[in-house]
């Protein structure tokens, strides 16, 4: 007599509990599978270009390179009182070449045309510093060389450093 009522009450608790536990297990299993997929990279969307982070970094480094070899920056950064023209010229050209060598591998990740413009800009900067030293008096200082180079740069109609930065940024925007 009490057994059917007891079984009925037991079933009233057990059946909903089994349904709820099954549903909870199903939800937990789905979330756990998602976690494993993300953790092991199976569910991540495929990047259209796996080298994109390296290309972005290369463009960033080339922007820094162009800014660092810009005479307006390099001459101020390397300015020291008492330097002769030859010392300043040597110091600036060495700094430009070191910067270039430090960034030479970045050509793998940027367009050939952009790299060629950057390389020509570097060569033109070295030539500009060399030309600035020609004709200065023997007792001229590094400051005189800096003034001459900066005057030559300001006389240009278009700043080649700004134009190169625009080209690098256009290449960067095309990657995104």
- Assign 32 a pLDDT band (cuts: 50, 70, 90): confident
pLDDT for res 42: 60
Q: Provide φ and ψ at 70, rounded to 5°.
A: -60, 125
Whether residue 40 is predicted with pLDDT greater than 90 in this model: the reply is no
Give the chain's radius of gyration (CA, Å): 33
From the number of C-beta atoms within 10 Å of its C-beta (0-12, 13-18, 19+), residue 31 rates as exposed
Name which residue leads in pLDDT, 153 or 176: 153
Spans of all domains in the chain: 1-45, 52-175
Considering only CA atoms, which of 56, 70, 71, 73 is closest in space to residue 169? Answer: 56
pLDDT at 45: 56
Global pTM reads 0.72
């Amino acid at each position: 007599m009490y057994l059917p009522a007891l079984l009925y009450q037991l079933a009233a608790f057990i059946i909903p509990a089994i349904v709820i536990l099954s549903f909870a297990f199903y939800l937990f299993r789905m979330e756990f599978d998602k976690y494993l997929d993300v953790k092991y990279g199976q569910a991540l969307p495929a990047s259209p270009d796996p080298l994109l982070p390296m290309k972005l970094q290369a463009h960033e480094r080339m922007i820094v390179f162009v800014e660092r070899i810009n005479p307006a920056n390099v001459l101020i950064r390397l300015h020291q009182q008492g330097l002769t023209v030859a010392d300043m010229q040597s110091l600036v050209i060495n700094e430009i070449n070191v910067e270039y060598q430090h960034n030479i591998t970045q050509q793998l990740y940027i367009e050939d045309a952009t790299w060629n413009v950057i390389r020509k800009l570097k060569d033109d900067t070295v030539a500009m510093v060399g030309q600035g030293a020609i004709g200065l008096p023997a007792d001229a200082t590094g400051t005189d060389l800096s003034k001459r180079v900066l005057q030559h740069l300001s006389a240009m109609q278009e700043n080649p450093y700004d134009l190169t930065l625009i080209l690098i940024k256009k290449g960067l925007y095309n990657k995104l």
